[in-house]
Every structure is written in C-alpha cells, then in structure tokens.
Amino acid sequence: MAQNGRPVQHSRSRSGLLVAKEVLDDKLSDSGKAIYTEFERLRRMSVGGTVVDARSDRNARLNRYSNVLPYDTNRVRLTNTAKDYINASLLESPPGEQPKWRYIATQGPKESTTGDFWQMVQERRCGVIIMLTRVTESGGFTKCARYFPEGLNQRELYGGWHVQCTSVREVDSDVTRRDLLVTPPAGTGAPLQVAHFHYHAWPDHGVPSTTQPLRDLVGAVKGLEQPQAGPAVVHCSAGIGRTGTYCAVDVALQRLRCGDYGAAVSAAELKPLVAELRRQRAGMVQTPEQYAFCYQAIRDEVDLELRGQ
C-alpha cells in the first residue's frame, strides 16, 4: 500500500530520520553543551558489577590496565585450557531489542596474552576484528602487542596459534584491511578466516577530524557479517574509549538504516545505549569528546540517508 506515491515503510523511515535530525541538531547546537551535560550524567551513574576474577592474583597480570576490568557476569571465558581468563567482555543487546547487536570488547593484547586472544577468536568463531589503536602511541608508549603479521603471505606463531596474512589492502588512507588465516594447535579446532580492520589514525583519548572513515568502516564490516558467525571483536588499548565509541556508532547506524521509525528516532538518543554498554563493560565511551563525536557521526549519517531518499 502506498501514500502519496511512496511506500508506507519508506515514508515512515524518512519521518523517523527527520525527527532524528531535529533532535541531533538541537543537541549539537550551543557548542554541544547539552551533550557534555548528558555525558556527565552518564558518568555519575553507578553500575555495580563485580570484577573478582579479573582482580585475582592469578589473573591480575593479564590486564593491561589495573582499572579497566571485565565484569564477572559477562566476561569471555576461554575453554579447553587450565586458565579461562582474558580481559574481554561479551556485549549483547537486551532481550527484545531490534536490531540486535553483539560484540566482544577487549583490551589490546599484551605480549603474554596474544595466544589467549587468538584462542578466544577461534573458540568464538569471530570472523571480524576491528583494531582502533596503533601498537605504539603518545611518545612511544606501547598500547597493544603486535598480534598479527603485517606483510602479505607472512606467517607468525602466537602462543600456539599460527596466523598467516593472505591479503592486504587499504580501505582508505586511515584504515587497512588484512585477511588472516588462523590455524589453532593440532587437535583443538578448525582453521578460521578472519577479516582484520586496522583504523590506525584515531588518537588515544581523542577523536578523528572527520566521521567519514569510521562510518565507512562500520559499513565495510556490516557487509561481511554473517548470521551464524561469532560476534565482531573490537579493541583499542584499554577496550573502552575508542572501542565504546565504535560500538555506539555502529548500533546507532544500524537503527538508522533498518527502516523502522522508532529505531531511527532512538538513534538520536545515545544516553540509553551508552548506559547499556557501560552496564556490560565499565567506561565505554570514555570521554565527552568521544561522546560528542558519536552524535556527530550519527548526524552526518542522517544527512547521507536523507540525501539518498
């Protein structure tokens, strides 16, 4: 059935985008003061999850930062091993929410945990990894171990997992994609093909100068995801700032693109989404600048969607 020559669904989708645009314009006006106030309210919200396992004597050395820890309730547990700990959180949309979302948010691997990282990827059958940090940043400080071979056809061993780079290409000037073949130790599972996206131009604690590379990255990853595959692995250094920003923008853009009026309108209200992410991993979207960047990315995508209609 149509209204004024347009399908009802299309009309409702455009109406949702127009409402979202109005809300976003209001939030981004006045130098974004409303956004900063909203972020401060988020920051003061108590979460209350326990991190007993992460703080145990056995596991504490596996954390890159002593104050960025996964909750006991949703930490990713390794199997087929004497130890099951890795600093990683399984994030999932609440029951009934559409569109659904799932991620593994994790810290940048340490030299001593690269094998654990690949074990997690292989056990969870994660076909996509999004890396949002350089190996070294901010005056030469190490932010993440080198856990994958950079060059075409290079093959490296990480704690028993063989990883081979089968292709390398530039998605754009800020993002490199590598296709990796991950082969676990003999008898522990089947080889896995992984698409690895490295966004190497995102400053630590800061934001990129434009939202376009991030929005393009979100689109490229969505084009690869398969219903039966495991969740995408997202990491920066700590696994909360840039990682949280990516997840928030990804979910919001899914809502904009799904064609549902209510979902499009909800994309313009980040506070409930970021609060949910923080209920599952503390500190997601770490700074007010990152929070404002999320809103700008959504606003830019709304403009693009409206022009396309």
For residues 80 and 150, give the distance between their C-alpha atoms in angstroms, rounded to a whole number: 29
Burial class (CB in 10 A: 0-12, 13-18, 19+), 220: middle
Known active-site residue 144: no
CA pair distance 105, 150, nearest whole angstrom: 22
Catalytic one of 126, 165, 236, 294: 236
How, if at all, do strands 175-183 and 155-158 pair?
Answer: unpaired
Tally the C-alpha atoms within 13 A of residue 152's C-alpha that lie toward its C-beta. 4
Residue type, 181: L
Interacting residues of 271 by C-beta distance below 8 A, sequence separation 6+: 38, 41, 42
Token readout for 236 is 């920066």
Relative to beta strand 232-235, strand 128-131 is parallel
Active site members? 236
